[in-house]
Amino acid sequence: MKTFFACFLGFAVLAAFGGWIFYAGSRIGGGWDALTPVLLYVVGGLLTVGALAGGLMWLAFYSARRGYDEPYDVNHPRGRRR
């Protein structure tokens, strides 16, 4: 029960901080209207980073599933996998 309460409290604090960030962001500079000219670049950057991260994770899991990450046997003349 203590663990649940600690997790719930942590998420509540995180949500409150996120709400404060959006509130403070609307008050700084030109607010959300100042973001409009660069919104396309922000969304494009987020999609690109997400695609790159997803692709690299897919490559890591693919190589692990196919056995490419297994060590080679240095005592075998052709360096076969164990």
pLDDT per position as a tens digit, 42-56: 999 999 999 999 999
Mean pLDDT (the chain) is: 87
Is the Cβ–Cβ distance between 63 and 69 less than 8 Å? yes
* Higher per-residue pLDDT: 36 or 79: 36
C-alpha distance from residue 16 to each of 2, 5, 11, 24, 64 (Å)? 21, 16, 9, 12, 40
Q: What are phi and psi of 81, to 5 degrees?
A: -75, 150
Residue 30 has pLDDT above 90, yes or no: no
Output the pTM of the full model.
Answer: 0.55
Is the Cβ–Cβ distance between 70 and 82 less than 8 Å? yes
Counts of helices then strands in the chain (DSSP H, E): 2, 0
21's tokens = 């960030």
pLDDT (average), residues 47-68:
92
